[in-house]
Structure 1
Amino acid sequence: MQFDLTDEQRLIVGTVRDFVEKELYPHEDEVERLDEVPADLQKQITEKALAAGLYAPNMPAEIGGGGLDAVGVALAERELGRASYALHSLVARPSNILLACEGRQRDDYLLPTVRGERIDCLAMTEPGSGSDVRSMTTRAVREGDDYVITGGKHFISHADVADYVILFAATGVQQTSHGKKALITGFLVDLDSPGVTVRRGPACVSNRGYHTCELFFENVRVPAWKRLGDEGQGFELMNTWLGSTRLSVAATCVGRGRRVLDLALDWAAQREQFGQPIGRFQGVGFPLADLATELDAAELLTLRAAWKCDQGTMSDSDVAMAKLFASEALGRITDQAVQVFGGLGLMAETRIERYWRDARLERIWDGTSEIQRHIISRALLRPRGA
């Protein structure tokens, strides 16, 4: 196997890292303090990302995107992951589920989003329907040339800055071996449509400045041409999207892990106790060695899954392993970094406590660690008839 990056891949890494360090790092403290990215700063970063050719890197070049393959996207995500989530999310990677757009949907939603003129968000999760998405209760009923949508969603990322939502709703019921499950359909819904309410969700300790929202739909009429894909095929569309986002989570965890481990190593080399750097004590040095090993393993799992995606051989289990291991490795890295810094690790001025708080979310969103283990174990046992 070839582990060296190509010249093009090295250029991607260098370009994105330079952008992150020059355009994102300087604003992290302000965003953390405000729990908000000021509107003028949002505009500034988006415009610079567009000018640098970093916007929509996951979208095909023929529609105006960056045209990166899965490995290229993972490398870019790794570098973006070093920065505050609220800031690096402004270097938008539109949901690849939009590639299912057809006809007028392309002109009204897909292409403007790739150009940075529109912002999408995605709504699946409900208060009573998290990992079990087919138990969702938000419904879309066909009435002539429209669908009428009623229900609510929560934990919807950046809906407060989006202007439309890729919404999944139940359009029927299917009898399965596990009982009745919803037949799900995707829709493109403008957030300024009559009957739509967007409300900021509860405050979260992770990723300050990047908000989740609650969406409410009260008899919202959506023209049938805004249905995304065939009726009842939304679950298949979701599965297409989940693989790519879980791979992105793994890559960003690796990037953040690199940044935090570097800070911990610098401190372990500079901080002296009993006449020597604390990193020379096995109680500090050995855990750091273990974490560096874990971080390399997380990166290899992530890039392997991305490479297999490009070859058309990636399985759900490949992505689940990458997301599971990288997110849990980041949790251990940030926790150990707090320990290395001691009391200062819990003080806001060192930023370590921020990375520690932010890391906790990675084991939950886009599929919890338990869901990833379920996917992996099911793949292991299914060939054996279990």
Structure 2
Amino acid sequence: MDFELTDEQKLIYNTAREFCERELIPHEELLERTGDLPRELDLEIRRKGIAIGLHACNLPESVGGGGLDCVSLTLVEKGLSRASNALAEAVRRPFNIMAACKGDQIAHFLEPVMRGEKRECIAMSEPDAGSDLRGMKTRAVKDGSDWIINGTKHFISNALRSQFVILFAATGEEQTSTGVKKTVSCFLIDLDTPGLTVAKGYDQLGHRGHTNDILHFDNVRVGGWQMVGEEGEGFKLVTDWLGGGRLSVAAVCQARAERAFEVAADYAARRRQFGQPIGKFQGIGFPLADMAIDIRLGDLLLMNTAWRVDQKFPSVAQDCAMAKVWCSEMLGRVADQAIQTCGGMGLMTDLPLERIYRDARAERIWEGTSEIQRHIVNRELMLARRA
């Protein structure tokens, strides 16, 4: 079994990590101090990312993307995600669903995204419907060749920085084995469409510069050409195009755990008490060893899952769920212990640990909570046993 990365994969990771160290991390203090990523800086980072091929590296070559396989893309995510979330997001990896654009959608939405001129956000969550997508109340009703949309979406990442939204809305009903359920369809909608309001979201724990916004749809009229895929295919689109989000979160968590560990280990080697580095005391050294073991396991699980995605294994939903659970919960443990290792200095803004600690909490919730991930794992276990 060969665990060695190819020369090309090493180059991809090093390129992303060096870009992060040079172009992203120096701006973390600005985000922490102001809570905002200036538009000029956002665009500058995007331009630099385009110049070295990081922009849209996840999309297929057939639409002008980088066409990276899952292993290579995971390495890009790891390299960039050592920095604050808002800075890493400025180096755009558009949602994979953009590759499903057809007809007029290509010129109006896809091509400007590929050129870095437009940015998309995605809207699924609602105040009364988070993990239960079939419970969504936002509804699209057909009116001739158009659709009329009403409802509210929230927790929409970076809507205030975007030009259009990938919207999932209920468009009908179907009979299932557990009763009547809503069918869901997907639309691409400009955020300046009449009746669509973008409002500032909630103040949040961590992730300075990243916004969670609210979208209100009041009789918003969209053309039939703006529907992605066929009517009622929303869940298929989620499965086909958005499954990689959970693995992306796992890569983010792995990168930040590695950075937190490096800070803690360096501190333990440098800080001296009672005539020797504190890392030589078991009270510090054993937790460092546990952190190193956790991180190694996370990396093996993450990269093996990415490899299995590339090999088209049938159970990748379970694999991605496992990776997200382990890496997100591991990051929480590592961030906490890294602060403990550094003592009082771990709480100070001179080190990145207190920020990593705050930011870590969201990772167990978005892109599917840890409970949802465990449900996916258990569902696959039972299906394999025909239970």
Cα drift, residue 345 of structure 1: 1.6
Cα drift, residue 242 of structure 1: 3.5
Cα drift, residue 67 of structure 1: 1.5
Aligned residue in 2 for 1:315? 316
What letter is aligned with 2:16? V
Whole-angstrom distance in 2 between the partners of 1:146 and 1:131: 28
| TM-score normalized by the length of structure 2 | 0.98
Whole-angstrom distance in 1 between the partners of 2:349 and 2:280: 26
Aligned residue in 1 for 2:336? 335
Residues 279-320 of structure 1 deviation map (CA, whole Å, 9 limit, x = unaligned): 111121111111111111111111111111111115210110
Aligned residue in 2 for 1:377? 378
Whole-angstrom distance in 2 between the partners of 1:118 and 1:19: 22
Q: Is the CA contact (8 Å cut-off) linking 1:58 and 1:67 kept in structure 2?
A: yes
| TM-score normalized by the length of structure 1 | 0.98
Q: Is the CA contact (8 Å cut-off) linking 2:120 and 2:162 kept in structure 1?
A: yes
- Structure 1 residue 51 corresponds to structure 2 residue 47: no
Cα drift, residue 123 of structure 1: 0.3
Aligned residue in 1 for 2:355? 354
Residues 322-371 of structure 1 deviation map (CA, whole Å, 9 limit, x = unaligned): 11111111111101011111122222222211110001111100000011
Residues 130-164 of structure 1 deviation map (CA, whole Å, 9 limit, x = unaligned): 11111101000000010000000000001010000
Aligned length: 386
Cα drift, residue 25 of structure 1: 1.0
- Structure 1 residue 258 corresponds to structure 2 residue 258: yes
Cα drift, residue 374 of structure 1: 0.6
Whole-angstrom distance in 1 between the partners of 2:63 and 2:107: 11
Whole-angstrom distance in 1 between the partners of 2:187 and 2:299: 35
Alignment of 1:140-159 (within 5 A): 140-159=140-159
Q: Is the CA contact (8 Å cut-off) linking 2:97 and 2:242 kept in structure 1?
A: no
Segment drifting more, 167-176 vs 137-146? 167-176
Q: Is the CA contact (8 Å cut-off) linking 1:49 and 1:91 kept in structure 2?
A: yes
Aligned residue in 2 for 1:190? 190
Gaps of 5+ in 1: none
- Structure 1 residue 79 corresponds to structure 2 residue 79: yes
Cα drift, residue 176 of structure 1: 2.5
- Structure 1 residue 102 corresponds to structure 2 residue 81: no
Whole-angstrom distance in 1 between the partners of 2:320 and 2:83: 23
Cα drift, residue 174 of structure 1: 2.0
Whole-angstrom distance in 2 between the partners of 1:62 and 1:181: 36
Segment drifting more, 141-150 vs 301-310? 301-310
Alignment of 1:88-127 (within 5 A): 88-127=88-127
Aligned residue in 1 for 2:245? 245
Helix, strand or coil for the counterpart of 1:155? strand
Gaps of 5+ in 2: none
Helix, strand or coil for the counterpart of 1:149? strand
Aligned residue in 2 for 1:269? 269
Cα drift, residue 202 of structure 1: 0.8
Cα drift, residue 115 of structure 1: 1.7
Whole-angstrom distance in 1 between the partners of 2:261 and 2:47: 31
Q: Is the CA contact (8 Å cut-off) linking 1:64 and 1:115 kept in structure 2?
A: no
